[in-house]
Chain A
């Protein structure tokens, strides 16, 4: 009953919160005089993901930001952290219902369309962008998932976490491979060559809750299939391109045998661990945050990153309607709540956080990459390891901007989850895969039909 009633409890509490709203003082909105916002005595509330890799650094960063902001505007910043996207969603739900809560939310990029569809966040006008230091200060690709179109943007790119692949330099050199292939077929050929004894060509996390859809989406995009078309409200999962993507992804394990058979039970962290122990030559679909665990492993200094192939499986060059998607646009966006009484102050804070200096400092501490173009350039000059990741960031494409994406993503992963028994016993037949794609297609289409 606990979990079942949790939702009800949330709503119930929210209703209570609604009743109690009257008790909280209604602060007058901050006034802008000239350029600087006066926030004396005010407190901004920011909801941000807890950083599991650097908890102490994050606490220090919170204090630094608050001190810096107080110097600038007189206002202090209070940070609240959440552990998972679901925690955040619950917080958004209650805040949206009660009309009070954090002023700023830090959202994962793929969650931005869902947040947008609640209509609870400020759509950025030209004037707002000016307060943020200008739309053109950001790396253009990072703006790709800020809104359905340029006029209706809610998300301000805060940090970028593009996906790339890591490779074992020693293994590649020993096999006489000078650099990773740029086509999926080429990569497979290299992986086959690198699979010997206990070492496999690739480490793939088939049981991860997120990784699989990113592979499928990337390979489908490269064949010109966007999975969803938000405009015509059509899902295109039940299609040859998507089928090809799944067959390639499954084939690595079943027919090509370049992946450890145990990988059908792996989460992303286990794939990273296998690579870190030198048991795999390529580790596709990791972000710069993998650097932390890899540098602490025997693999330190023996690996490098590369952009993942942008030529679809079965092709030697990008088809004319294909998109050279190297990664999804991944990272964090910041959004300002409509109910916030301190919107100008909120914009001033985000302006400060996305400034060149602050973005460079953030990258140096946490490893996530800047969305500020000048800062990105600066980072690129200083760090060779990160160059391919920044490069991938400029070749990033956004997932379809619709509230139906959450369900679609789930449906794409579900195809893999339900195929695992088949994968362990040799393979998934074409007809079986077709049936699963049909299920996913129906789920995605139903979600699209409901989308507004």
Chain B
């Protein structure tokens, strides 16, 4: 492919340029012309490797999943799966009316939201606390990252062992005269999931906020010092506005990450999951690999995809990654 042919798909390459449409080779309006000049030699072929990968590992499976969700696909029809009976929206109807899907969505969304919101102040506080130099700061900063870099499987096994009936946690609380009951089953298990997820995911917030703090101009700090701002005023009206972007980003990514968490609940609670922690990924997994209802499970997967797409859309609008407008700011 040569560069000249690459300049051809200009309609696609010039997003939102209304003047760019009808211009065979000539002179459209001024703004469009300027854009044409910088788009001419863009090496768009560089998108190819990534594009092919996207198609193979995301688009194809997605299409297959959509097709599967309309089939009555199970262990009996697996062998010739394209011939499995087509039941249109049957799987979706079953998922909504006679499976625990809605309940699981409720659990997943509330769990993800609570865990994300609680990790926010924890992460911000940790980042602010380690911003100024002090002896041993590097050590503290690396210690902070430990929960985040541990594999979810290890985190799950660790907490599972500690939270066993008669385990370490029960022993310690019992010493204080507190007997909260079961951690890994029953109503408390929901909070166990939240606590462990917070434990393992707060450093992510911390990381993004630390990155955000780097972008605060040193002059700003100086100006605050000269004006005699107290630490709270400085934080509230000077620093936090700088952090708005990173915090919003972290909030949305953490939410998506939490809602997708599979390994942690799977290892902590096992299968079949206690009903209070039957989160969406675990339900989808069980439907597929324990009940062998591949079609129904694909329908559930599509439902959760839609669910995830909502915050994702909000996020993309918020950072304006989808419109290309950020270049103009």
Partner of B76, one of A3, A118, A209, A421: A118
Residues of A within 8 A of B272 (CB): 209, 410, 413-414, 417
Residues of B within 8 A of A406 (CB): 75, 290-292
A176 within 8 A of B: no
A425 within 8 A of B: yes
Name the residue of chain B whose CB is nearest to the CB of A451. B76
Q: How far is the CB of A307 from chain B (nearest CB, A)?
A: 29
Q: How far is the CB of A247 from chain B (nearest CB, A)?
A: 20
B47 within 8 A of A: no
Q: How far is the CB of A75 from chain B (nearest CB, A)?
A: 27
Contact status A447-B291, CB under 8 Å: yes
Segment with Cβ contacts to A, from B19-27, B58-66, B115-123: B58-66
A382 within 8 A of B: no
Residues of B within 8 A of A410 (CB): 271-272, 286, 290-291
What CA separation (Å) do A207 and B164 show in the bound complex?
Answer: 11
B15 within 8 A of A: no
Which applies to chain A's interface (DSSP): helix, strand, loop or mixed? Answer: helix
B57 within 8 A of A: yes
Name the residue of chain A whose CB is nearest to the CB of B288. A7
A97 within 8 A of B: yes
What CA separation (Å) do A265 and B162 show in the bound complex?
Answer: 11
Residues of A within 8 A of B291 (CB): 406-407, 410, 447
Segment with Cβ contacts to A, from B130-138, B212-220, B239-247, B297-305: B297-305
Contact status A420-B274, CB under 8 Å: yes
Q: What interface size band does chain A fall in?
A: 35 or more
A29 within 8 A of B: no
Given contacts A1-B260, A3-B260, A265-B164, contact A97 B185 (CB under 8 A): no
Contact status A418-B75, CB under 8 Å: no
Given contacts A420-B182, A424-B165, contact A8 B68 (CB under 8 A): yes
Contact status A97-B78, CB under 8 Å: yes
Given contacts A418-B274, A421-B187, A425-B181, contact A5 B62 (CB under 8 A): yes
Residues of B within 8 A of A207 (CB): 184-185, 270
Segment with Cβ contacts to B, from A9-17, A65-73, A126-134, A294-302: A9-17
In the complex, which residues 36-78 of chain B have their Cβ closer than 8 Å to any Cβ of chain A? 56-58, 60-62, 64-65, 68, 74-76, 78
Contact status B64-A11, CB under 8 Å: yes
What CA separation (Å) do A424 and B180 show in the bound complex?
Answer: 12
B262 within 8 A of A: yes
Contact status B166-A7, CB under 8 Å: no
Q: What interface size band does chain B fall in?
A: 35 or more
Name the residue of chain A whose CB is nearest to the CB of B74. A450
Residues of A within 8 A of B76 (CB): 117-119, 403, 450-452
**What 0/1 pattern do residues 393 to 430 of A give for CB contact below 8 A with B?**
00000000001001100100110011011001100000
Q: How far is the CB of A372 from chain B (nearest CB, A)?
A: 30
Contact status B185-A421, CB under 8 Å: yes
Residues of B within 8 A of A15 (CB): 60, 64
Contact status B60-A12, CB under 8 Å: yes
Partner of A8, one of B292, B301, B304: B301
Contact status A7-B281, CB under 8 Å: no
In the complex, which residues 161-175 of chain B have their Cβ closer than 8 Å to any Cβ of chain A? 164-167
What CA separation (Å) do A291 and B76 show in the bound complex?
Answer: 38
Q: How far is the CB of A105 from chain B (nearest CB, A)?
A: 14
What CA separation (Å) do A5 and B291 show in the bound complex?
Answer: 17
**What 0/1 pattern do residues 76 to 116 of B give for CB contact below 8 A with A?**
10110100000000000000000000000000000000000
Contact status A209-B182, CB under 8 Å: no
Contact status A7-B65, CB under 8 Å: yes
Residues of A within 8 A of B202 (CB): none
Partner of B285, one of A3, A265, A418: A3
Name the residue of chain B whose CB is nearest to the CB of A12. B61
Residues of B within 8 A of A258 (CB): none
Q: How far is the CB of B285 from chain A (nearest CB, A)?
A: 6
A262 within 8 A of B: yes
Contact status A11-B81, CB under 8 Å: yes
Most buried by B among A11, A420, A424: A11
Contact status B297-A7, CB under 8 Å: yes
Partner of A3, one of B56, B167, B284: B284
A120 within 8 A of B: yes
Residues of B within 8 A of A9 (CB): 57, 61
Given contacts A4-B305, A417-B270, A420-B186, 12 further A-B contacts (CB under 8 A): A5-B58, A97-B81, A114-B292, A117-B76, A118-B75, A118-B78, A262-B164, A403-B292, A417-B274, A418-B275, A421-B182, A424-B182
27 A-B pairs whose Cβ atoms sit less than 8 Å apart in the complex: A1-B305, A4-B281, A4-B284, A4-B301, A5-B62, A7-B65, A7-B294, A7-B301, A8-B301, A12-B61, A97-B81, A117-B76, A118-B78, A207-B184, A261-B165, A262-B165, A262-B166, A265-B164, A265-B167, A403-B75, A406-B75, A406-B291, A417-B273, A418-B274, A420-B182, A421-B182, A447-B291
